[in-house]
Amino acid sequence: DLVMRFYDPQGGAVKVDGIDLRDLELKSYRRQIGVVPQDPVLMKGTLAYNIGYGCRGMTKASLERAAKMAGIYDFIMTLPRGFDTEVGERGVTLSGGQRQRVAIARAVVRDPRILIMDEATSSLDALVEQQVQEAMHNAMEGRTSIVIAHRLSTVQNSDAIMVLDHGRIIERGTHDDLIAQKGTYYQLYTGA
């Protein structure tokens, strides 16, 4: 919420490229952010509509690029109407993993500089989680990405992992650093 600037911090500042978010034009800044929520909201309409939602002048090439990056393109091409396939209210015709990959495609279709993945794999089984993690990895390449997760497998390959406790950062480092510290992350990871 702070990165999206739904709230301003009560103390300190949230900065992007060294600039306080309060000094940026909000609408322009938010256009630079893509979000993949825990429970993606899909609307009644086509896959193209759901991927391109909120984007003016969406081209077929940008839809296809986003779908490929999200690992949903091949599935879409198996459908008789392709991108023109109706998904139903809340995406009822799609599996959980397919809905997540559509949400990833929607988040990257505008080529945002910042990508926020908020518990994007929490409701998926292990096999589908692995497929969605692959799509997440593709989507995060070349972007500043913030991954919020309880499943440590989702953050294991991150450049920096921050362990929060009651809203405070209590540990910070790579997966290997945090394992070596044998603190909270280590306990969560090993089940100790």
Contact 76, 85 (CB under 8 A): yes
Model pLDDT for residues 27-37, shown as the tens digit of each residue: 999 999 988 88
Cα torsion 32, 142, 120, 186: sign: negative
Residue 183: pLDDT over 90: yes
Q: Give the per-residue pLDDT at 130.
A: 72
C-alpha to C-alpha distance for 58 and 51, rounded to whole angstroms: 10
Q: What 3-state class would DSSP assign to 173?
A: strand
Mean pLDDT of 141-170: 86
One-letter amino acid of 163 = V
pLDDT of 55-73, one tens digit each? 777 888 999 989 998 888 9
The closest alpha carbon to 144, from 18, 7, 6, 38, belongs to: 18
Tell me, what's the pLDDT at 149?
Answer: 82
Nearest one of 106, 100, 85 to 33, comparing CA atoms: 106
Alpha-carbon distance 55 to 109, whole Å? 8
Q: Are 102 and 72 in contact (CB under 8 A)?
A: yes
178 neighbors 190 (Cβ within 8 angstroms): no
Select from 106, 93, 89 the least CA-distant residue to 44: 89
Q: pLDDT by residue (tens digit) across 90-143?
A: 777 888 888 888 988 998 888 889 989 888 766 666 666 777 677 777 777 788
Distance of CA 158 to the CA centre of its chain: 14
